[in-house]
Amino acid sequence: MNLLVRWGTTLTLVGSTLLTTVFSGNAPVLALTEQQIKEKLDPVPVFLITNNQGVPLTRTVPNNTQNGQNAQNAQNKQATVTDVFMSGQEAQAFINELRNVKGKDPKMADMLKSLQVTPVPLGMIYQKLQENAKKPNNLVFAFNPGKQDLEGAVTLLRQSGKEVKQFPSVPVFIVRSPDKGYVSVKRKTDNKEVIPLFLSQKDAQNLLTQVKQQVPKADIQVVDIDGVIKTLKEKNDTWLSQVAIVPSTESMQYVVSKRSGAPNQNLSPKKK
């Protein structure tokens, strides 16, 4: 995909540094509402493994997340986890792996036959997390970033001098000039100037290649999606309203291939 065709052809630079914004936690002012954040996340498809009625597959893990006097009781409980894949292809590969396990009982084999990859908006997952945050026995979402993007994020961080063994969350890639700030582009659909935050290193690299013709020192900065959302919630910087989270080309192509006949989603869990 030619990203400049998608986003427009006008490149500018915003004089802000998200790295220091993301990792500083002392700004109490709410910048964007929960609804505004959800709207930024809605264009991003993520992928659940569901049955043909749209009920997600879940797994159970020990619940050791609580501290204090209830920690001992928490260890005896289990948490219900739904896996959220950033790559539709990797979600399908996981289904294939489950189906290829030997020695399954007939009931399990029949259940596995009904599994499919179902795209849902990331904004919907975010909304569910907000709604269930304070509820007991709430559904937990485990995010599975694309393997190539995880490896790319670690490589970029090491190249910048950071000691890192693995990336802790979903990586986000931002094209920037170290001297002038973040690259913004004019979106072709509405001519609005936005700062693209890419969920694919490859897509960010495509933009960087074109930006370097004007800004030779431009590079790609890596941050994590949790830090981005925290910044949107807590920082009172006007430029944050320009942030646009850009889904990967691969995920959009996968959605197009799955669009026909997709069922409605139901986030009532189906246990694995």
Report the pLDDT value the prediction gives residue 62, as an integer from 0 to 100.
Answer: 76
Exposed (0-12), middle (13-18) or buried (19+): which is 71, by Cβ within 10 Å? exposed
Tell me: the pLDDT tens digits for 1-15?
233 333 333 333 333
Alpha-carbon distances of 84 from 44, 48, 67, 160, 168, rounded to whole Å: 12, 5, 26, 29, 15
- What are the pLDDT digits (tens) for 66-98? 443 444 444 446 778 899 999 999 999 999 998
pLDDT at 269 over 50: no
Residues 6+ apart with CB under 8 A from 75: 62, 63, 64
The whole-number pLDDT of residue 185 equals 87
Centroid of chain to Cα 256: 19
pLDDT exceeds cutoff 80 at 25:
no
Average pLDDT, the chain: 78
Please, what is the angle between helix 34-41 and helix 122-132, to 10°?
150
Q: What is the mean pLDDT of residues 127-147?
A: 83
Query: 45-49, 64-68, 212-216 — which one is most confidently predicted on average?
Result: 45-49
Phi, psi at 12, each rounded to 5° = -135, 175
Contact present, 247 and 85 (Cβ < 8 Å): no
For 231-245, what is each residue's pLDDT tens digit? 888 887 777 888 999
CA-CA distances (angstroms) from residue 139 to 45, 47, 135, 142, 214? 19, 16, 9, 10, 47
pLDDT band for 259, please (50, 70, 90 cuts).
confident
pLDDT value for 31: 64
Model confidence, pTM: 0.79
Sorted by where each starts, the structural domains of the chain and their CATH numbers stand as 3-258 (3.40.1350.100)
Task: Give the residue with greater pLDDT, 266 vs 247.
Answer: 247
pLDDT of residue 258: 76
What tokens were used for 186?
Answer: 């004019």
Pick from 37-51, 103-117, 169-183 the range whose average pLDDT is largest. Answer: 37-51
Residue 28 or residue 265, greater confidence: 265
Query: What is the reported pLDDT for 238?
Result: 78
pLDDT score of 14: 39
Tell me what pLDDT residue 143 has.
94
Instruction: Output the CA angle 73-75-79, nearest 5 degrees.
Output: 110
pLDDT reported for residue 42: 95
CA atoms within 13 A on the CB side of 75: 5
- Tell whether the model's pLDDT for residue 192 goes beyond 50: yes
Query: pLDDT value at position 3?
Result: 32
Which H or E run contains 145?
Answer: none
How far apart CA 187 and CA 196 sit, in angstroms, is 10
Tens digits of residue pLDDT in 91-111: 999 999 988 888 778 888 888
